[in-house]
Amino acid sequence: MSAAASRKHTIIIKVLELCVAIVLLGVILLPLAWLVLISVRPVAEVYAYPLSFWPQEFTLNAYRSVWVSREYNTNWVTYFVNTTIISVGAGITVAFLGMLIGYTLSRMRGRPVQQTLLLFVIVQLFEGPALIIPIYLVMNWLGLYDTRIGYALLLIIFFLPFAALLSLSFAHSVPVEIDEAAKIDGCSDWQFFYKVFLPASKVGVVTVGLMAFLLMWGEYPFALTLLKGDNRTVSTALVDLISGISVYWNNLAAAATISSIPVILVLIFAQRHIVSGLTMGSGK
């Protein structure tokens, strides 16, 4: 009797869970499904009333006109390659340098560490539109305005504090005892970092790198102010498709869909890393 009652109870709870889950997934995924479904429609259907959820006619015209035919006098393949090279290159650099700084700080004690951490927090706090004017000036003076290398260097500098803070939590989990053992064996600090510490904290480096990649891929304020023409990344190039007089939503959707594929792939294959990166970041 009581066993049957508790089974009924469990079923009710599961049904409630399912309802909540469906609402949540609907809220999160329907806008995205809509984005993809719009990208495969002909223009006429985009402006049809009433709108239908499923396309009446399937076409890849939008993808062709944005990515292949260069109808808009734009060069989407270039933007995509730019974004990939910049965010992969800067992501790897930041992951490596961040772990180097994180390792060094994790083996130090006292005021210098506190002050460095404070500096990192301050940079992260102000990094954004409040600093675009000084950044614009510096980049102009250095001749790095509207260059991809300049933009990548800027990303490296501004993401380094984030990467170092995250790396620090990983570095703390590698015990100091192995440092001492290696050094008695005659290992220099650099050799130790490169040959022992880095392999031991591979998960941390990968996590930091992936997080940095995700954030850099969609970076907007600095890309908007510093990159023009063929130097642009997908973020700012997308805005062109919106700010024209007539917006072809199917073309915009096609550009947005392809621009989102890399980050979705990272999420699919490295979900665990991203979640641990986020929770470690908030645990600090």
Partner 1 sequence: MSATLESNENDLLRGTRAFRRRVLLLPIAILVALMLFAFFGLAYYSLHRVTIYTLVPDGFVGLSNYISFLTSRAGQTAFLNTLIWIGLTVTCITLLGVPVGLFLAREGIIIRVTRAFMLVPWVLPGVVTAALFRWFFHTQNGVLNSLLLDWGLIERPIRWLSSPDLALYSVCFAIIWRLFPMFALVTAAAVKTVDRSLYDAASIDGASAFNRFRYVTLPGIRPQVLTMILLVTIWVSNNLVFVNVMTGGGPIGRSQTMPNLIYMTAFEVGDIGLASAQSIINIVILVLIGALYIRTLRNRQVEDA
Q: How far apart are CA 215 and CA 212, in angstroms?
A: 5
Going from the C-alpha of 111 to that of each of 69, 98, 101, 108, 284, the distances in angstroms are 59, 20, 16, 9, 18
- The nearer residue to partner 1, 17 or 230, going by C-beta atoms, is 17
Min separation Cβ 122 and partner 1, Å: 7
Min separation Cβ 9 and partner 1, Å: 14
Min separation Cβ 189 and partner 1, Å: 4
Query: Of the candidates 32, 33, 34, which has an alpha carbon nearest to the alpha carbon of residue 46?
Result: 34
Min separation Cβ 47 and partner 1, Å: 6
Q: How far apart are CA 158 and CA 45, in angstroms?
A: 44
- The nearer residue to partner 1, 24 or 68, going by C-beta atoms, is 24
Min separation Cβ 116 and partner 1, Å: 6
- The nearer residue to partner 1, 198 or 239, going by C-beta atoms, is 239
In contact, 235 and 219? CB cutoff 8 Å: yes
Query: Of the candidates 241, 219, 250, 240, which has an alpha carbon nearest to the alpha carbon of residue 82?
Result: 219
Min separation Cβ 243 and partner 1, Å: 8
In contact, 91 and 221? CB cutoff 8 Å: no
Q: How far apart are CA 258 and CA 217, in angstroms?
A: 13
- The nearer residue to partner 1, 200 or 263, going by C-beta atoms, is 263
- The nearer residue to partner 1, 148 or 273, going by C-beta atoms, is 273
C-alpha R_g of the chain: 24
The three-state secondary structure class of 242 is helix
Min separation Cβ 55 and partner 1, Å: 14
The Cβ of residue 207 has, within 10 Å, a number of other Cβ atoms equal to 26
- The nearer residue to partner 1, 148 or 251, going by C-beta atoms, is 251
Q: How far apart are CA 66 and CA 237, in angstroms?
A: 11
- The nearer residue to partner 1, 72 or 136, going by C-beta atoms, is 136
Query: Which residue is associated with the tokens 């259907």?
Result: 45
In contact, 141 and 231? CB cutoff 8 Å: no
